[in-house]
Amino acid sequence: MPVETILSVENISKSFGKIKAVNQLSFEVGKGHVFGILGPNGSGKTTTLSMLLGLIPPDHGMFSWFGQPPSNESRKRIGSVIESPNFFPYLDAVTNLKIVADIKNKPYDDVDEVLQLSGLHERRFSKFRTFSFGMRQRLALASALLGKPEVMILDEPTNGLDPQGIAQIRELISLVASRGTTILLASHLLDEVQKICNHVLVLQKGVMLFCGQVQEVLSVSDSIEMAAADMRGLTAAVKEIPGYTSYTETAGIIQVHFSTVVTPSDINAFLHQKGIILSHLSEKKRSLEQHFLELLHENP
C-alpha cells in the first residue's frame, strides 16, 4: 500500500550573496517516516529546514505540505526545534510550557503529557535556570510536541550534548516516532542518523548526493571474509568470481572486495564447484559512515 506523502520538495534553491546554500533540492517525505538530512556543517541543512518552515523564502522551486501549498494552517500541524531553547529562566517548566501553549493558541491539556513524555515531570516545578543543557533540550522538544503535531522538524537536536544526553534525546525521538509522528531531522552525526532514521538525504554544499532508505545503504556488503584449508587454492579461485576487485589476508582469513553485489551463497556455490570447501564465510556490511565518506570523497 503506497505511503501518503507528507512533504514534497521540488527544485528549491537558496543563495546568500555569492554563496549557493541550497541548489535545486528535490525529495519527498512519507507519513510516519523518520527522515534524516545528513551533511557536514555548512552543507545547507538548516537553510533547508528554515525554508520548509516558512522562516525564509526559497529563491526558486516550490514545496507542499500535506498535498497543499504551505500555509498558516499547514504550519499549525508542524512542531519544530530549530534554535537553542529560549525559555524564561526564572519560571518553572510548567509555566514556560503554558506560555508556549498561549503563543500557539493551544489548550493546556498537553502540558502534563509532554512533560511525562520528555522525562521532566518530576522537575515540572523547577525553574528553567536550574536545568542542565540536556534537560533544556528535552523541554524544547516537549514544547514542540504541544498540540500533538503530525510532523516534527528538528535541527541538530543532540548538538552539544554529552553521551548520556544524546542517548536521552535519541530515546525521546524514537518514542515520538513510534506514535506515528513524521520526523524530519537534520544532523551531521552519522551515528545519530543511522540509529534513529529510516530514510536519509545526504547534502554537500547544498547539493543532494544521495536520497533513499538507510537500509539500502546498510544492506550493501562492503566485503566478504572467507577461509579454507587450502588457502592458496582459495585465493586463486576468488579472483575468478565475477565482480572481484581485490583481497587482503590477515591471520589466515582473506577479506575480498567486489564491484558488484555478490551474496555469500553465490560465493559458496562458486567455490564448491572449484573444489574449495570453506571453513569461514562472513559478510561485512557497509556502514552509513563508509557510504557518507565515499560520497563526500567523490564530490569534494
Query: Are residue 192 and residue 292 in the same domain, yes or no?
Result: no
Query: Are residue 201 and residue 267 in the same domain, yes or no?
Result: no
Query: Are residue 111 and residue 177 in the same domain, yes or no?
Result: yes
Domain boundaries, position 73: 5-217
Query: Are residue 85 and residue 135 in the same domain, yes or no?
Result: yes
Q: How confident is the model over 264-281, as a mean pLDDT? A: 89
Query: Are residue 93 and residue 141 in the same domain, yes or no?
Result: yes
Q: pLDDT tens, 227-267? A: 998 998 999 998 998 888 888 888 889 888 876 767 888 88
Q: What is the mean pLDDT of the chain?
A: 87
> Which of 161, 191, 217 delimits the end of a domain?
217
Give residue 9's pLDDT.
96
Query: Are residue 269 and residue 147 in the same domain, yes or no?
Result: no
Query: Are residue 23 and residue 40 in the same domain, yes or no?
Result: yes
Residue 9's domain is classified under what CATH number? Answer: 3.40.50.300
> Which of 170, 186, 217 delimits the end of a domain?
217
Q: pLDDT tens, 85-140? A: 789 999 999 999 999 999 988 889 999 999 999 999 999 999 999 999 899 999 99
Give residue 151's pLDDT.
96
| Number of structural domains found in the chain | 2
Query: Are residue 244 and residue 281 in the same domain, yes or no?
Result: yes
pLDDT band at 43 (very low <50, low <70, confident <90, very high): confident
Give residue 294's pLDDT.
57
> Which of 183, 217, 251 delimits the end of a domain?
217
Query: Are residue 182 and residue 287 in the same domain, yes or no?
Result: no
pLDDT band at 291 (very low <50, low <70, confident <90, very high): low
Query: Are residue 78 and residue 188 in the same domain, yes or no?
Result: yes
Query: Are residue 246 and residue 109 in the same domain, yes or no?
Result: no
Query: Are residue 203 and residue 83 in the same domain, yes or no?
Result: yes
SS3 assignment for the chain: CCCCEEEEEEEEEEEECCEEEEEEEEEEEECCCEEEEECCCCCCHHHHHHHHCCCCCCCEEEEEECCECCCHHHHCCEEEECCCCCCCCCCEHHHHHHHHHHHHCCCHHHHHHHHHHCCCHHHCCCEHHHCCHHHHHHHHHHHHCCCCCCEEEEECCCCCCCHHHHHHHHHHHHHHHHCCCEEEEEECCHHHHHHHCCEEEEEECCEEEEEEEHHHHHCCEEEEEEEECCHHHHHHHHCCCCCEEEEEEECCEEEEEECCCCCHHHHHHHHHHCCCCEEEEEEEECCHHHHHHHHHHHCC
Q: pLDDT tens, 174-189? A: 999 999 999 999 988 7
Does pTM top 0.85 for this prediction? no
pLDDT band at 37 (very low <50, low <70, confident <90, very high): very high
Give residue 287's pLDDT.
56
Residue 250's domain is classified under what CATH number? Answer: 3.30.70.100
Give residue 125's pLDDT.
96
